[in-house]
Homo-oligomer: A and B are copies of this chain.
Amino acid sequence: MNSSHFSISLHILTLLDQVKGQLLNSEYIAGSINCNPVLVRKELANLHKHGFVQSKEGKGGGSTLAKNPAEINLGDVYWAVKQKKLLGESKNEPNPDCPVGKQITKHLTDLYDDAETALVKSLSSKTLKDFSAGFK
């Protein structure tokens, strides 16, 4: 993955949990994250696509959680938010005429898949409720 998608999404979800069903608009959320409201709306669009949030358009609109925070686990958020490989790969194709270059992509993929599985397992052991409960 990378870039700040996961951090921003989790920040959004935490805010929405903290206000317990109240609608928050993108400007308010952006104010907490300190980023552009359009970025927040894009992130919300993705969270919506994956069923984590609901939004209401028009005046007085905003977003709220679409499920119980105890049923949102952070591993699922990870998958929903993921866009790129966790561990980057070389932009160019390795040399197919080299015995190592020819096979390395597959071997790296296998290695990274295992590592990512371990990472997600760790994230999945926590729910949004757990995470949010840490804020006091």
Contacts and interface: CB of A to CB of B under 8 A. Distances in A.
Interface of A: 1-8, 10-11, 14-15, 18, 31-35, 74, 84, 86-95, 98-101, 103-104, 107-108, 111, 114-119, 121-123, 126, 131, 134-135
Contacts of A8: 90
User: Do most interface residues of chain A lie in helix, strand or loop, or is the interface mixed?
Assistant: helix
Given A8-B90, A89-B4, A123 B95 contact: no
Contacts of A98: 31-32
B119 A115 contact: yes
Contact of A101 (B34, B100, B103): B34
A85 B32 CA distance: 21
Given A18-B100, A135-B107, A33 B117 contact: no
